[in-house]
Amino acid sequence: MKTMARDARRRRWGLVLGGLFFLAALALRPHVPVAAGALSALGAFAFGFALDFGLGLLLSLVAAGLSLYGTPAWPLSLAVSLLAAGGGAVVRRRVFDLDFENRALALLGAVGEATARVDDEEVLLDAVVRAAVERAGYTLALVMGECGSGPFGARAVAALRGYFLFTDDRGVEGHRDAEKAGVSGKPEVLARTFAAPALEGRPAVRRFGFKSRDPLEGLLRLQGSRAGAAVPVPYRGGRCLLILGARERGAFGPGELRALAEAGRMLGQGLERLRLLKEIAELSYTDPLTGILNRRGFFERGARLLEHVRSFEGRAALVYIDLDRFKEINDRHGHALGDEVLRQVAERLHGAVRARDLVARLGGDEFVALLEIPEANALEGFLSRLIRAVGRPYAVGGSRFFLDASLGVALFPSDGERLEELLRKADAAMYRAKRAGRRVAFFDPGGDAAMARRFALERALAEAIESGTIEVVYQPVLRHPGREVVFFEALARWKEPPEVFVPLAEEIGLAWALDRLVLTKVLDQLEAWQVHGRPLVSVNLSPRSLASDELFPFLERELGRRGLPPGSLALELPEQPFDERRRGELLRRLWGMGVRLVIDDFGAGLVSLAEIKDLPFDFLELPRSLVQELGESVGAEAVAEAVRALGERAGVAVVAEGVETREELDRLLRLGYGLFKGYYFGAPMRAEEAERLLTEGAA
């Protein structure tokens, strides 16, 4: 590009000097012919030099020779020089046009390279404008308008005099010349510049003459440009432009403009590709059910938000939100209705925070919010809005529901500076809120060790279930008097007491895995006990196991594989939140398989007294709590007597569980009970002891 500028200056001065020499020769011809001949030779040399030094020397010799023949040769000398200069100018112009096209092609190649290797909009635009200046030699390169995913405004600028950035309102930030020009990248501003046709999809060229009021032309002039061009970058409607400046007033001919238009089209394709990639990434960051952030999106954007807060030494709060009683809604009314409730919860939480805050669904009914806290007393108001948002009634599928939420809060940076640490501590605070029956709990450093122990217990339980190290013991159910074994109740045992690890398995989603392990061990033991007449063994099942799609295929497969009759297995059913129709279908299907059924803790809410006659149970179990109240509460004795009488009329055997003293046994015998279970008759025993009890009888 510097060579082209030098050639332009040489051509300009050669033509000027050549014209002056010929005019002087014309004036001196009548008076000093020899001087006139010399001047005409110099004029011919100057015209030729404008094109090439050698051509100028040749023309000067021709002109000098012709001048020796006198006046008739004078016009011929001038004509030869002018024709040579004119023809050379045409050739030189074509050479310049080829140079201009080559620099546009260099830019086109750079755009192709950048769009192939760059995966970020800003990096792509910066690479293009830098290549336009550094590789192609343009004085100024700008990408302006509706480009990329950001707001209106110039997205990237490069100039030979240095790099600078645009802002929407202040023009060009940090560059005196550009601020003076007052250029903005907004389309409505560009529409008042020479680039306006490019906004409609047509390339635009301006060769600068007298000073103009066009701010874009003014900016290009300040960068040493004598011509400017704007080509559309087809992207989301074609209102993105590539604008270039050149030193040469004759730049941006048809060939160069075609190459630049192709560069703009290729840049638009690159931006569109990056937009699609970004939308695909957005989908991977979004929870498909609720439309808010998922766990991955929360960690990605949450880390950036914390970095922003850290940059000005601000504060933030991570709020862990767990819905109370959602499981009951989900189990009673089905997952479709539960999903709609979750969508409404997500919408409410998103509406309760500001645009710069984050709300995400981590899974199930657990949500999280990351809030920037402008001042210390603002957090209470934010938490109140979240609680009120969740607590408003829900109208779904013709039903009306109420939900509450337990909130755990961890503060940035006092409770931690990393998002993972804050999430763990907010989770611990949420569990503390649940245990205390409070709406909100803040992370307590003293409780962190307890939470660590809980996590360790969760991992250990999962490993114990996976390795099969959970043991099974057998509690006999006896007929009294006579101490005849009616059946055994199988109980899971681990290093922690059942009241700790059984609810924990339910809570962390391992209920079916635990129940499946116990069932497998019981069925193996029944197969081994076939020589003893295969005693009936009951197994407690959690509500999640009863709702599992794996339950029936498992029972059919495992009973059949061992050749065991279904009647050798009984299932103890706890209180469960199924609606009556689903409960009836479940129980009748189990009964149809031949499996025996036991109502555990009858009277605690599984079925009403009126339902017992319509449901296929084999045993009812009077709960331990009623057995303990006998002798102390007239009401307890009345209920116990009514349960026994109901079982007798319905043909269902009634078992009194948890009998531990002789006094309790005597009261139950007076009420007519004959089947008992409890430590008074014996503690849960290993399979070997249970087998001896079967073969030898109870002592």
pLDDT digits (tens, 9 = 90+) for 12-29: 666 666 667 656 665 665
Alpha carbons 331 and 547: distance in angstroms, whole number: 8
Residue 261 has pLDDT above 90, yes or no: yes
The two tokens of residue 179 are: 């601020």
Strand partners, 399: 396
Sequence-distant (≥ 6) Cβ neighbours of residue 518 within 8 angstroms: 470, 472, 490, 492, 539
Average pLDDT estimate for 351-364: 90
Q: How would you classify the pairing of strands 315-324 and 366-373? A: antiparallel
- Rounded to 5 degrees, φ, ψ at 224 are 85, 20
Instruction: Please determine, for residue 150, whether its predicted confidence score (pLDDT) is greater than 60.
Output: no
To which H or E segment does residue 51 belong? none
276 and 288 in contact (C-beta within 8 Å)? no
DSSP per-residue string spanning 182-203 = T----HHHHTTSTTHHHHTT--
Better-scored residue on pLDDT, 629 or 76: 629
Tell me if residue 312 falls in helix, strand or coil: coil
Q: CA-CA distance, 678 to 583, in Å (whole number)?
A: 29
Please indicate whether residue 65 or residue 597 has the higher confidence score (pLDDT): 597
Whether residue 354 contacts residue 406, with contact meaning beta carbons closer than 8 Å, is answered with: no
Axis crossing angle, helix 326-333 with helix 335-352, rounded to the nearest 10:
150
Tokens of 525: 């033991």
- Categorize the per-residue pLDDT at 179 as very low, low, confident or very high, splitting at 50, 70 and 90: very low
Sign of the dihedral through C-alpha 553, 558, 560, 566: negative
Are 368 and 426 in contact by the 8 Å Cβ rule? The answer is yes
pLDDT value at 608 more than 60: no
User: Residue 151: what pLDDT?
Assistant: 43
Q: Give yes or no for a contact between 408 and 427, defined as CB atoms under 8 angstroms apart.
A: yes
As a whole number of angstroms, the distance between CA 397 and CA 562 comes to 45
CB 293 within 8 Å of CB 358: yes
What pLDDT, on the 0 to 100 scale, is given for residue 164?
A: 44
Please count the CA atoms within 13 angstroms of the CA of 78 that sit on its side-chain side.
15
Kindly state the average pLDDT of the residues 120-127: 82
| For residues 301-311, average pLDDT | 91
| Alpha-carbon span 62 to 79, nearest angstrom | 12
Does the structure show a pLDDT above 50 at 570? Answer: yes
Give the pLDDT band (50/70/90) at residue 582: low
pTM above 0.85, yes or no: no
Q: In terms of pLDDT, which residue wins out, 199 or 685?
A: 685
- Look at 632 and 659; give whichever has higher pLDDT: 659
Closest CA to 606 of 589, 586, 592, 591: 586
pLDDT at 574: 66
Query: For residue 543, what pLDDT is reported?
Result: 79
Determine the pLDDT at residue 38. 63
Joined tokens for residue 365: 């009914």
Mean pLDDT of 516-536: 87
Tell me the one-letter amino acid at 694. Answer: L
Distances (CA, A) of 313 to 306, 307, 357, 384: 10, 10, 17, 25
SS3 24: helix
Tens digits of per-residue pLDDT, 396-410?
A: 877 787 888 899 999
Phi-psi region of 290 (alpha: psi -120 to 50; beta: other; left: phi over 0): alpha
Angle at 632 between CA 612 and CA 657, to 5 degrees: 45
Helix (H) or strand (E) holding 698, with range, is none
Report the C-alpha gap between 621 and 678 in whole angstroms.
12
CB-based contact 162:174 (threshold 8 Å): no
**Is 70 exceeded by the pLDDT of residue 77?**
no
Give the distance from CA 473 to its chain's centroid: 47
Cis peptide before 413 (omega within 30 of 0): yes
SS3 for 521-574, per residue?
HHHHHHHHHHHHCCCCEEEECCHHHHCCCCHHHHHHHHHHHHCCCHHHEEEEEC
Strands 569-573 and 537-540: parallel
> Do the strands 399-401 and 404-412 form a parallel or antiparallel pair, or are they unpaired?
unpaired
d(CA 482, CA 474): 19
128: amino acid identity, one letter? V
CA 559 to each of CA 544, 566, 590: distance values in angstroms, whole numbers, following the listed order: 21, 7, 13
**Average pLDDT over every residue of 33-52:** 59
Long-range contacts of 29-35 (CB under 8 A, 24+ apart): 29/71, 29/74, 33/67, 33/70
pLDDT band at 168 (very low <50, low <70, confident <90, very high): very low
Residue with tokens 């004078």: 74
Other CB atoms within 10 A of residue 315 CB: 17
Strand 596-599, strand 569-573: pairing: parallel
pLDDT at 166 over 50: no
227-233 and 204-207 beta bridge pairing: antiparallel
Measured at the CA of 458, the angle between CA 452 and CA 459, to 5 degrees, comes to 95
- 3 state SS of 695: helix
Choose among 305, 301, 308: nearest CA to 281. 301
Name the nearest CA neighbour of 603 among 585, 584, 588, 625. Answer: 625
**Mean of the pLDDT values across residues 513-529?**
93
Q: So what's the pLDDT on residue 468?
A: 93
Distance CA 147, CA 166 (A): 13
Distance, in Å, from the CA atom of 509 to the CA atom of 547, rounded to the nearest integer, reads 13
What letter represents residue 21's amino acid? F
The answer to whether 358 touches 350, Cβ cutoff 8 Å, is no
